[in-house]
Structure 1
Amino acid sequence: MNPAAAIRQKAIDEIRETDQNFSIMSEKQGMSKAFITYAANDVIRMNEGAAPTVGFDSLRAQMSRIPANGSVLTWQVLKTDAAQSGELGYTFGQWMLTSKNETGKRNEQHGVYVTVWKRQRNGQWRFVLDGGNTTPELK
């Protein structure tokens, strides 16, 4: 493998692992904690049916308004790619939000997402753009 291809492949592997760890944190510690932990300072989060959330402070404020009702957001990476430079990449996948209504009945929402990741000065990957939409359950 040539050096440029090796740099790109290393970035792809790191981004995929970061995205998977992001989902694990969301499942175990909550969506708010995960989104705040993995967001870059200049983050933009697309919101279905609403204006985007722009900037880390706005994202933190948005996440603080999420009720702690036991909803669990998880996702699965289906595709990852990165620039030759190894500084920018994306993940695409499907997500599931599980919650319970007032009677305790389980409710699921499904969708797809795309997240753009940027390597930070300290070498960590943080998302700079995240968005998705609801879909019927994907098989």
Structure 2
Amino acid sequence: MRASLVKLACLLSGFAWAAGTAAAASPADADHLIAEAKPMIDKANKDWLPAMERQDAKELAVPYAANGIFLTATGESFVGRAAIERLYQDRFAKARVLDGELIEDGLTAQGPLIYEWGHARIDSEQAGQRSTRAGAYLTVWRREPDGVWRIIRNLTF
């Protein structure tokens, strides 16, 4: 757990540096960005569990930017929508998701980025054995040139 937190702190400092290089947003600008992105973030979060239960790896990869990165709790990283889709396909080949929840604990905007954090739980079955995994997440969203907000970094721990 400590190694994951250290890795997260390093990644966050990189995000903070990247966000800090952009023009600082005023509180009103930050509120505007969050209001603009919130429907897309809420949709991705609402669609997450049903897609997990359907084992729909393609739908789970849709919210990611073409070069988005998923960093797992074990430190593995998957770059790009296709790699993230394969990650989910590999997970579905091993276990079936039975239930779960994703709870957003907060959102903040810094420069052009939105940081979302929360926690999730997944109940699954593998070889007849039920298990529960739970943990926290940090997701960084960026508006793409087409106006769609996409995940550029998703970290689970």
TM-score range, shorter chain: 0.7 to 0.9
8 A Cα contact 1:96 1:110, kept in partner: yes
Structure 1, unpaired ranges of 5+: 134-139
More helix per residue: 1 or 2?
2
Tell me which residue corresponds to 2:96: 70
Matched, 1:22 2:44: yes
Letter in 2 for 1:115: T
Tell me which residue corresponds to 1:41: 66
User: Which of 122, 132, 137 is matched with 2:146 structurally?
Assistant: 122
Letter in 1 for 2:104: V
Q: How has the CA–CA distance of structure 1 residues 60 and 92 changed in structure 2, closer, same or farther, with 3 Å as cutoff?
A: same
Tell me which residue corresponds to 2:155: 131
Superposition pairs for residues 71-90 of structure 1, below 5 Å?
Answer: 71=97, 72-84=99-111, 87-90=112-115
Q: How far apart, in 2, do the equivalents of 1:94 and 1:17 lie?
A: 19
Q: Tell me the CA shift for residue 25 of structure 1.
A: 1.0
Q: Tell me the CA shift for residue 73 of structure 1.
A: 4.9
Q: How has the CA–CA distance of structure 1 residues 98 and 16 changed in structure 2, closer, same or farther, with 3 Å as cutoff?
A: farther
C-alpha RMSD of the superposition: 2.4
Structure 2, unpaired ranges of 5+: 1-24
> Larger deviation: 114-123 or 75-84?
75-84
8 A Cα contact 2:64 2:80, kept in partner: no
More strand per residue: 1 or 2?
1
> Larger deviation: 14-23 or 87-96?
14-23
Letter in 2 for 1:91: E
Tell me which residue corresponds to 1:112: 136
Q: How far apart, in 1, do the equivalents of 2:90 and 2:127 lie?
A: 19
